[in-house]
Amino acid sequence: MKTPLTFEIYSTTKELPITWDTIAKDNIFLTNSYLEILEKAAPKNMTCFFIGLFKNEILVGIALAQFLDLNKLESFGERDKCIKTMIRNFAFKNFSSHVLFIGNNMLTGQNAYVFCNDVNKFQALKTVHQAANSLKNQLKTKGKRVHILTFKDFYEDNLENFNLLEFNNFYKFSTQPNMVFSVADNWKTEDDYINSLSKKYRDQYKRSRKKGEGIKKKRMNLNDIIANETVIYELYFHVAKNAPFNTFFLPKNHFRVFKELMHDKFLFYGYFLNEKLIGFNTLIKNGKVLDTYFLGYDDTLQREKMLYLNMLYDMIFYAIKKDFKEIIFARTALEIKSSVGAKPIETFGFISHSNSLINRKMSKLFNYLEPKTIWQERNPFK
């Protein structure tokens, strides 16, 4: 007979068991330091909870939950102004404004949980599901009824773990793929990458570098970030609010807190023209994987200077130089990421609505509210 697993839900990192980071060691996004960032500088409409799984009172698994109140958002995004977008926004505000994520809505990839190797994965996931239901009840007592429960983002090899009775009423969905760039073993220098490109994409590289002349890139430390915080936020917010859809906006102090707590694991690069900050990008070191994070730019100069494309090349060159194996380029801008060599990896999630009538129509509703992105995959290599 299996020893039952129990769970504890924590609201602050100070409450976490001392062995938490032993379980999280292979994923920086579940470590105490990263969770402290969420605690101190999460979006204002997000509340985070940390779940510990126990077997005989020994910690054997950890998970992250995020509750989002979409009613606190002033805007879901300002790029698309069509009737369909207005209907979608109305539906979210009125029927789906309280969302509980098991996973991290600020990242792409499997950052929901980690279990010890000797723990039965079905039993562990069943216990996480129990914890999610407990959280729903906890939030309900505070007047916040959860409309949607969703588990995100999982790759194909994780899906069999969800073959449980508890997930029978969940709709399995897939949205935009995660764009992942693999660093070839024989790339030791920038030239190795450039020489591996076909003529068309070598020309694209040369053109972007020519357009970007005059821009100076600087690795910014904590003091630099603090000194430029207002401009940084303006550049970030301009990009964020022009996205087709948003469920949160970062607070102004987010990057400062990230740097304070993550130090050299968090890289912040500013792009300057005539000594004025016109753009930035951020990277997170996660073992041998480099995760791209949020960025911002002046849109008028972005086009003229091909700034975004130049940022992608800079990230690739950093990964080659520092011997990273992969870059997680995440979702959005699929075609341009594809043009530098990133490949789409399909990710899946599971979603359930508290209203049984709406839940039965979830497959139709989801495809209406989250239509497939039409894009053309590129292959830049010879």
Do residues 147 and 72 share a domain? yes
Residue 307 lies in a domain: yes
pLDDT, residue 85, reads 54
Do residues 161 and 214 share a domain? no
Do residues 223 and 333 share a domain? yes
Residue 374 lies in a domain: no
Do residues 156 and 209 share a domain? no
Do residues 341 and 203 share a domain? yes
Distance of CA 99 to the CA centre of its chain: 16
Give 125-179 pLDDT, tens digit per residue. Answer: 999 999 999 999 999 999 999 999 999 999 999 999 999 999 999 999 998 899 9
Residue 378 lies in a domain: no
Terminus-to-terminus CA distance in the chain, angstroms? 56
Give 350-361 pLDDT, tens digit per residue. Answer: 999 999 998 998
The answer to whether 314 touches 269, Cβ cutoff 8 Å, is yes
Residue 168 lies in a domain: yes
Do residues 287 and 355 share a domain? no
The identity of residue 150, as a single letter, is T
Residue 241 lies in a domain: yes
Strands 343-345 and 326-330: unpaired
Tell me how far apart the alpha carbons of residues 75 and 243 are, in angstroms, rounded to a whole number.
11
How much of the chain exceeds pLDDT 70, in percent? Answer: 92
Do residues 283 and 215 share a domain? yes
Number of structural domains the chain divides into: 2
Residue 381 lies in a domain: no
The 10 Å Cβ neighbour count of residue 50 is 23
Do residues 198 and 326 share a domain? yes
Give 282-309 pLDDT, tens digit per residue. Answer: 999 999 999 999 999 999 999 999 999 9
**Residue 344 backbone phi and psi in degrees, to 5:** -80, 130
Do residues 268 and 121 share a domain? no
Do residues 129 and 200 share a domain? no
Do residues 54 and 108 share a domain? yes
**CB environment 139-163: b (16+ within 10 A), e (fewer):** beeeebebbbbbbbbbeeebeebbe
| CATH code of the domain in which 363 resides | 3.40.630.30
Give 11-46 pLDDT, tens digit per residue. Answer: 999 999 999 999 999 999 999 999 999 999 999 999
Residue 200 lies in a domain: yes
The two most distant CA atoms of the chain are separated, in Å, by 70
**CB environment 98-126: b (16+ within 10 A), e (fewer):** bbbbbbbbbbbbbbbbbbeeeebeebbbb
Instruction: Name the one residue in this structure whose structure tokens are 């890289």.
Output: 267
Q: Which domain holds residue 63?
A: 6-175+347-369
Q: Please state, rounded to an integer, the average pLDDT across all residues of the chain.
A: 92
The answer to whether 296 touches 238, Cβ cutoff 8 Å, is yes
Do residues 52 and 193 share a domain? no
Residue 380 lies in a domain: no
Phi-psi region of 266 (alpha: psi -120 to 50; beta: other; left: phi over 0): beta
The answer to whether 30 touches 65, Cβ cutoff 8 Å, is no
